[in-house]
Chain A
Amino acid sequence: MFLEQLINGITLGSIYSIVALGYTLVFGVLGIINMAHGEIFMFGAFVGLLIVSKAGAPLPVAFLGAIVVTASMGLLLERFALRPLRTRPGASHLASLISTIGVSILLENLAHKIFGSGNHLFETPFAEISFKIGPVTVYLVQVLILLISLLLMAGLALWLSRTRAGKALRATAENLETAGLLGVDTNRMITATVVIASAMGGVAGVLVGMAFNYINNQIGLSMGLKGLAIIIFGGMGSVYGAMAGGLILGLSETFVVAYGSSGYRDAIAFVAIIVILLIRPQGLFGQAPAEARR
């Protein structure tokens, strides 16, 4: 059973990681928490479902479609719920938090109107491909999810540290006005960040559909809250922290069920953040103390 649970935990953890990467990217650049990220992720899952199960198109089309839709949602989110707050003098960080909470409530209930409240079957032949390692059955989807999450992490880390655009992004993160004076189009950089983060949410959504075969309009809220816990645990704005935090959470949730009681499964994430905030407020991989950002 140990090996099977290990695979379950890694699969769950990789999905958590991808969701958390989306949060961490936006926080790293804008210093705000995008509470609507979970719901954007859920829309990605539903778009994937419509393309694969309803229209019968192949998987790559589903990924593409989910990315297009979630990226546009990111664009709209930035334009209408974030940018107006940025140009207002003296707006606090709480304003963007509250505004994105608003977007998340809006999207969750919109999804309920559009897709209904029940579970939807996410059917794709790819999800049925499996192979055996000894006594353990491994699904190709599970390997794919781990690979994609690692790729996204590595890609992001490289992009941020090595490319020109990445440097401009970090400059924007460091100081908005100075970066602007130095010729960085900060509005464009910020929009790009939110769009990329949202597109990653879309990818994660399709992967969840493939891994669990079912989606509903509540997964945004539950995954979103977990993703939030992970970035606090791993360290806000840290790419490696999101990856490690996601895997740690996925594994501990799985093993608490396997060797303990399943009742507290959903509470682990929050117990973890309360503990980490008490002993190491900057998180596992965070550099700056919490006070530095506010």
Chain B
Amino acid sequence: MPLEWLNPYHLQVASFMLINAILGVSIYVTLSTGQLSLGNAGFMSIGAYAAALLSTQHQVPIPVGIVAGSFLAGAAGILVGIPSLRLSGVYLAIATLGFGEVLRAVLINWESLTGGAVGVAAIPQMGRVILAWASDRGFSPGSLGLQNNQFISLTVFLILLLCTLLTVAFFLRLSRSRVGRAYAAIRLDESAAEAAGIPITYYKVLAFSQGALLSGLAGALFAHSTSFVSPADFTYHRAVEILVFAVFGGSEHIFGPVFGAAFLTVVPEALRSISDYRYILYGLLLVLMMVFRPQGVIDPPLLRRFRRSSEGTPA
């Protein structure tokens, strides 16, 4: 049976949706300790460039490059996170924003490593690599009723789906663990949490570097799905976009930013005709959300109600 309905275009949009969802979770994790980081575009660029350069210049296998890129971003998160502990609220936001801008200047100017504004091209794309590997072993996508490009898009989508599900599952569990409760306590009242014996330094740096690591993961996956990265991918506007995911979707539960990222990726794609007004709408959205629903579309009470109503009705 040919799977003609499996359209690579839809899979492509879904793939970007998943990458954005990981980015949404990355800002949510740091926010869950009450820290606002605007440096996630910067951490994303670390993951993207590390993965891209490792695979194009050092022939490192893709999964190794992705893991290395994520952990490099996470390590950078610790380095930025420790001094940033002295800062809070707006100071932290501005300092991390500055970090992102400095990083972009480094990407542009360190030409011998990054290629400058020209970027890194011909990064192996996950789906194509897997197809080539499978073809060498006598596999043909036709045997599954798939065209080559369908197979490529489908593998990319499935890999991203796996990464996103693992990420969400991990942080969902984390939020119910000791760590998650510590995060929540710090977010509610830092002094009280400290008085209660929670090592807030440790947990704040942990949250910060977890967010950085996730941004790096998203960046590395981005590099291996688009096969090209350049500093133009990681501007201030990217940082704001990531922030919008969390603010719109909601930053009190992990499903919030995931929903925000998915929704805000798909809607502009479907309404291409209004894309002219996309950023104007983003701006309005930020103000309106802050005024009318600062916790975002999805918050714990809403989720509880959904759960209850689905339990109440027989399937």
Contact = CB atoms under 8 A, between A and B. Distances in A.
A88 B87 contact: no
Nearest to B251: A94
B115 to A, nearest CB: 14
B120 interface: no
A1 B27 CA distance: 47
A93 B87 CA distance: 14
A274 B283 contact: no
Given A221-B236, A266-B101, A274-B99, A98 B243 contact: yes
Contacts of A105: 240, 279-280, 282-283, 286
Contact of A101 (B98, B240, B284): B240
A224 B203 CA distance: 33
A124 B280 CA distance: 32
B60 to A, nearest CB: 29
Contact of A99 (B95, B101, B109, B287): B287
A267 B107 CA distance: 11
* Chain B interface extent, by class: 35 or more
A283 B291 CA distance: 31
Contact of B286 (A98, A225, A271): A98
A113 B86 CA distance: 41
A107 B101 contact: no
Nearest to A228: B94
A232 interface: yes
B294 interface: yes
B282 A290 contact: no
Contact of A94 (B84, B89, B97, B109): B89
Given A94-B93, A103-B283, A105-B240, A277 B83 contact: yes
A102 B280 contact: no
Q: Is the interface of B mostly helix, strand, loop or mixed?
A: helix
B284 A264 contact: no
Interface string B283-301: 1111100110010000000
A267 B88 CA distance: 22
B102 interface: yes
Contact of A264 (B84, B88, B105): B105
Given A105-B282, A277-B87, A277-B91, A266 B105 contact: yes
Nearest to A276: B95
* Chain A interface extent, by class: 35 or more
B130 interface: no
A271 B106 CA distance: 11
Nearest to B100: A270
Interface in A82-114: 84-85, 88, 91-99, 101-110, 113
Contacts of B86: 277-278, 281, 290-291
B287 A81 contact: yes
Contact of A102 (B84, B90, B286): B286
B284 A106 contact: yes
B282 to A, nearest CB: 6
Interface string B35-76: 010000000000000000000000000000000000000000
A236 B247 CA distance: 26
Which of B87, B91, B93 has the most chain A CB within a 10 Å cutoff? B91
Contact of A93 (B89, B240, B294): B89
B267 to A, nearest CB: 17
B102 A263 contact: no
Nearest to B246: A98
A32 interface: yes
B99 A270 contact: yes
A91 B294 contact: yes
Nearest to B190: A294
A33 interface: yes
A229 interface: yes
A286 to B, nearest CB: 11
Interface of A: 32-33, 80-81, 84-85, 88, 91-99, 101-110, 113, 221, 225, 228-229, 232, 261, 263-264, 266-267, 269-271, 273-274, 277-278, 281, 290-291, 293-294
Closest 10 CB pairs of A and B: A102-B286, A106-B283, A270-B98, A267-B105, A105-B283, A99-B290, A102-B287, A263-B109, A109-B279, A84-B291
5 contacts: A97-B89, A99-B286, A263-B109, A264-B109, A273-B94
Given A98-B243, A291-B88, 9 more contacts: A94-B36, A95-B290, A97-B93, A99-B286, A104-B283, A106-B283, A108-B283, A273-B98, A274-B99
Interface of B: 34, 36, 83-84, 86-91, 93-95, 97-99, 101-102, 105-106, 108-109, 236, 240, 243, 247, 276-277, 279-280, 282-287, 290-291, 294
